[in-house]
Structure 1
Amino acid sequence: MSNKTITPDNQSDPILIVFPKFIGDAINTLPAIELLRQLYPKTPFHFLVRPHLVALFEAQNLPLVDVIEDKRYAKPKWGIFKKSRALKKANYQLAVLFRGSLAEAVLCRLAGIKSVIGYAQNGRKPLLSYALKLNENHHYIHRYCRIVNEAHGSPFDSFNAPSLSTRESPFVSPQTPTIGCYFGGKNKDTRYYPTALSAQVVALLLDNTPCDVVLLGDQQEVADNQAIIEQLTNHQTRVLNLAGKTSLPELVNVTGQLTALISIDSGPMHMACATGTPCVALVGLGTSPWSIVAPKVAKFEAIVANGFSLDDHRIIESIEPAEVLRTFQSLMSRLSDE
C-alpha cells in the first residue's frame, strides 16, 4: 500500500468500478461517477454490479459505460477465482471500490489490477494502492466522492446531488396528479410503516388532495399493499397497487413522473430525489444512521420518529398520519411559492 496520488494521464484501459449492493447506496455513488468522468472523459468505465442492479444502470444509457453482472451473486454463482479470471482479461489498471468489503479488494488483486482505491476497512488496507481512512460521520455521497477526489490529489471542491434520467410511464397519467406511496412490507423490518397507519395516510391524502395514489413495492410487498387498499372502503377506485408490476428501470420512470412521493427510508426515496420528484420520508430505525443517508436535495422533507418505544419495530409508529399530511402539504406549498 503506497497511497501515491493517482494521475489520469494516458489512461486508455477501462476502469473497473465496484458498486455497493443496495439500490439507494448505488444511486448515491452517481455524484462520484460524475467526478470520475471529469477526470477520465474518454476512458471506458465498467460497472461491476449485483444482478438486480444491471437493468437500472443499463437503462441510464451512460456514455462509455459497460454494465457487468457480478456473477458471484447470480444463479448459478461464480466463485471469486472464476470471476477474477474473467476480469483479468479486460486488463484493468485501475479499480474504484465503492463497496467496503474485503472480498472486493481480494477480487481486484486476483484480477491483477495495479491500482485499487477504496477505504481502509475490514482488514483490506494492505490490498489497496490508495487507502483512505473512513470517517463514519460523513454522508454516504461524501464518502464515495472522497474516494475519487482524494486519490487523485483533491482536484474538486464540491459535488452535485445524484441524478437519474427517466422516460414516460404508462402507470402515471400526465392529466391526473398522482402521489406515490411506499410504506414497505414486513420484509423491511424496522423501517416498515404499519398497514393501519399507512391506510390512514392514503385516506387523508385522498380526502384533502385532488389526486390518485399508486402504492409502490416489489413482489414481496403485494399483499402488504393490498391490505392497505382493503382498509380504504371509500377510496379503493383511486388507488393502484403497483407492487411487483414494475422492473427497477420502470420503477425509476414511475417515481420520476409522480407529483410527489411519500416513502420510508428506502430505494424509492432515493429514486424520487434523484429524478426531481418532491418527497416526504418517514424515518424510523434504519439500516444506517439517518444523518449519513438523508437525500441532499431541496424538494424533500423528512419526518424522523421521535417516540419513546423500546421496541425497535414500533419506533416509526410515533409518526402520526396527520403529521404526514401536514408535512406533505407544507412541502408542496413551499415548492409552489418558489
Structure 2
Amino acid sequence: MPDAGPLLVVSPNWLGDAVMALPAIADLKRHFADRRMIVAARASVSSLFTMVPDVERVVTADVAAIRDARPSVAVLFPNSFASAWLVWRAGVRERWGYARDFRRRLLTRAVRPPKQPMHQGEYYQHLVRELGVATGPLEPTLSIGADALDDAKRLLAQHGWEEGSLLIVLAPGAAYGKAKQWIPSHVTWLVTDLVRERGVTCALVGSRADAQTTRAIRDAVPVDCQPKVLDLAGETTLPALAGVMSVAAACVSNDSGAMHLAAAAGVPVVAIFGSTNEQATAPLAHAGVPGEIVTNPVWCRPCMLRECPIDHRCMTGIEPARVLAAVDRVAKVTG
C-alpha cells in the first residue's frame, strides 16, 4: 500500500451519476477510515459533496488543485481517458479505475469492466469491490445541514408556501435531452389536479436551463391554481434543492439529477422513464421509503437518444392519471 496520504475520489461529471456513486464512496471511506477523503469534482456537482459527511475537502477537477491536495491514491469513477490523464499529470502515485477508454497504461490498478449489465450504482460498487473494498448497502445518503434547510424554507416561503402544508416537488427537465422529458402539457394536468383536487402546493424545480419549461408549465395552469405553483427553477443551490426535497411529501421527476438527489434525501420518488433504461439508472431509494417507476412499454425504448426521431410515444403514452395514482400511493395524498 502507498503511504497514508489523502484518498482522492474523482467524481462522475453529472449530478445523477455523482449521487449513484455515493454508496461506493461510503464503502471507500469505511475501508480507508484512517485516511482523509478528498473529492475532485466539476463545479456543477461539487456542492453535492458538502452534504457527504465522510468528505473532508472538495477541490476542482484540475491539475493544480489536485497537486495541492497531495493525495497518495486516486480512485476514478469516470471512465474517461481525461480523468486518468488528469491525476497522472497531477503526480498522484496510485491511480485506480476501470480499464476503459484506452487509459490502462495511465492506471496503476486497472480493473476489468463487468461484462453483464447492471445498475450504475452497482457498477461503481463493482469497481471498489475489485479493489478489495467490502461494499455496503446500495443506498446514497446525504446530511442536509440546517443552513441548507433554512435556505430552502425561506425560498419556498418567498414563493408562497406555508410551512407544514403538503408539498410535492416536480422536476420536469433533464439535461441529457428532450427525449427524457415527460410532456409539459401532462405535467400541467398533474399540477392542476394536485392543487385543485388535493390542496397540494407544487414546486417546479430545475436548473436555469429548465426555466423556460417550468415557466410555460406554470403559465398554462389555471389562474386560480397558480398561487400554489411555485417556480423555483434556477433559484436553488444543490444543498438548497436537497432541502426543498427533504420537506416534500414526494418528488415527481424524469430520469435526471434531481430525481437522484430526491432519493438520496430520503423522499418518495415517482420516476418517469422514457428513452433511458430504468434498470441502469432507477433512483436508489432509502430502505422503507416508497417509490414507483412509470414507463410506457413501447418497442423502441430504451433507445438512449437525446431527441426522439419519431413521435415520442414512450412519453406521450404515459397519461397524467397514471402518474397521479402513483403520487397518491407513495405520498398518501387523498382527493
TM normalised by structure 2 equals 0.85
Q: In 1, distance between residues paired with 2:55 and 2:47? A: 16
**Aligned partner of 1:294 among 240, 258, 282:** 282
SS in 2 for 1:27: helix
Q: In 1, distance between residues paired with 2:74 and 2:233? A: 36
Matches within 5 A, 1:141-180: 141-152=121-132, 154-156=133-135, 158-166=136-144, 167=146, 168=149, 169-170=152-153, 171=156, 173-180=162-169
Counterpart contact for 2:170–2:205, Cα < 8 Å:
yes
Matches within 5 A, 1:210-289: 210-233=199-222, 234-286=224-276, 289=277
SS in 2 for 1:161: coil
Q: CA deviation digits over 1:111-161, x for unaligned, max 9?
A: 332321111111112222222222251211111112222212x544x4340
**Aligned partner of 1:65 among 49, 56, 69:** 56
SS in 2 for 1:263: strand
Q: CA deviation digits over 1:253-289, x for unaligned, max 9?
A: 1111111111111111111111111110111113xx3
Q: In 2, distance between residues paired with 1:138 and 1:56? A: 24
Runs of 4+ in structure 1 off by over 6 angstroms are: none
Q: Which moved more, 1:114-123 or 1:300-309?
A: 300-309
Matches within 5 A, 1:70-219: 70-71=61-62, 83=63, 86-135=65-114, 137-152=117-132, 154-156=133-135, 158-166=136-144, 167=146, 168=149, 169-170=152-153, 171=156, 173-184=162-173, 188-219=177-208
Query: CA shift at 1:26, angstroms?
Result: 0.5
Residue 14 (str. 1) matches residue 13 (str. 2): no
SS in 2 for 1:319: coil
Counterpart contact for 1:255–1:261, Cα < 8 Å:
yes
Aligned partner of 2:294 in structure 1 is 303
Give the partner amino acid of 1:113. V
Query: CA shift at 1:313, angstroms?
Result: 3.8
Q: In 2, distance between residues paired with 1:141 and 1:216? A: 24
Structure 1 gaps, min length 5: 1-6, 72-82
Give the partner amino acid of 2:125. C
Q: In 2, distance between residues paired with 1:187 and 1:111? A: 30
Query: CA shift at 1:186, angstroms?
Result: 8.9
Query: CA shift at 1:185, angstroms?
Result: 6.7
Counterpart contact for 2:271–2:294, Cα < 8 Å:
yes
Query: Are the structure 2 counterparts of residues 140 and 186 from structure 1 closer, same or farther at C-alpha, using a change threshold of 3 Å?
Result: closer
SS in 2 for 1:46: strand
Structure 2 gaps, min length 5: 301-308
Q: Which moved more, 1:29-38 or 1:188-197?
A: 188-197
Query: Are the structure 2 counterparts of residues 175 and 35 from structure 1 closer, same or farther at C-alpha, using a change threshold of 3 Å?
Result: same
Give the partner amino acid of 1:162. P
Counterpart contact for 2:205–2:233, Cα < 8 Å:
yes
Counterpart contact for 1:187–1:220, Cα < 8 Å:
no
Counterpart contact for 1:43–1:64, Cα < 8 Å:
no
Q: CA deviation digits over 1:11-52, x for unaligned, max 9?
A: 520111111110010011111111111111131111110011
Q: In 2, distance between residues paired with 1:99 and 1:185? A: 20
SS in 2 for 1:284: coil
Q: In 2, distance between residues paired with 1:51 and 1:299? A: 32
TM normalised by structure 1 equals 0.84
Q: CA RMSD in A?
A: 2.4
